[in-house]
Amino acid sequence: MIQYVRSALFWLGFAPSTVVMSLILVLLWPIAPFLWRQRISVLWPRFNLWWLKVTCGLSHEVRGTEHIPAEPAVYLCKHQSAWETVVMETVVPPMVWVLKRELMRIPIFGWALASLRPIAIDRKKGREAMEQLLKQGEARLADGICVVVFPEGTRTAPGQTGKYRAGGAMLAERAKVPVVPIAHNAGYFWPRRGFLKKPGTIQMEVGPVIDTTGLSAAEINRRAQEWIEATVAKMGGPTP
């Protein structure tokens, strides 16, 4: 029962902070450059990660940050939870998301997302969506901004593997930039469709850079998937 109360307290901080940050970003959009807006937006995940630890006893550890390259890269991240969408902005240098266009239609929140220059695609449009990802992704990378992709597309339960789509790998091949794989076990603590947040420590690991020189998108994708899934399997779940 106490964990349900603590989870409710977390949401009571998470929701208002999201509204406040969204309003700030919308107001800053016409007057502040992207890098300034992103530096301010990072305050939102930092607050909520702290609040998550205070209310739910859920913290995290990030290993392998020494692998993060100085140059822009494509980051391929395991997708189990909403947690990784909160933490990634604190881990990766200036970055944008590849996300569903429907999110942009949410009043205020969607406008705030738009201010952070995401690559918002309509996955139903197939080839058109892929061309948008490649064109806009190349433009972001050329501007010195990293691109974060969830290759599985949707959240998977712990122990499961979704189909790794090749969009992020194709972008890296076309833009001639490295790929950085990221693994974590957040789904055990913050379930993909669960209200309850379990206490413990989420493990996240940044993998060795994949040099994409001379590699096909299929091979890039295969190497990223093999490392991510093997690393997630080693992490397992919380200790009883």
Q: Please give the Cα distance from 228 to 210 (Å, whole number).
A: 12
Q: Where are the domains of the chain?
A: 59-235
For the stretch 90-122, pLDDT in tens is: 999 899 999 888 888 899 999 999 999 999 888
pLDDT one-digit tens code per residue, 8-56: 999 999 999 999 999 999 999 999 999 999 999 999 999 999 999 999 9
Contact between 167 and 99 (Cβ < 8 Å):
no
Fold classification of 59-235 (topology level): Glycerol-3-phosphate (1)-acyltransferase (3.40.1130)
Contact 177, 211 (CB under 8 A): no
Beta bridge partners of 206: 182
What is the b/e burial string over 165-187, where b = at least 16 CB atoms within 10 angstroms of the residue's CB?
A: bbbbbbbbbbbebbbbbbbbbbb
pLDDT tens figures, 45-97: 999 999 999 999 999 999 999 999 999 999 999 999 999 999 999 999 899 99
| Helical (H) or strand (E) element with 20 | helix 2-28
Pick from 102, 94, 91, 148: nearest CA to 125: 102
pLDDT value of residue 144? 96
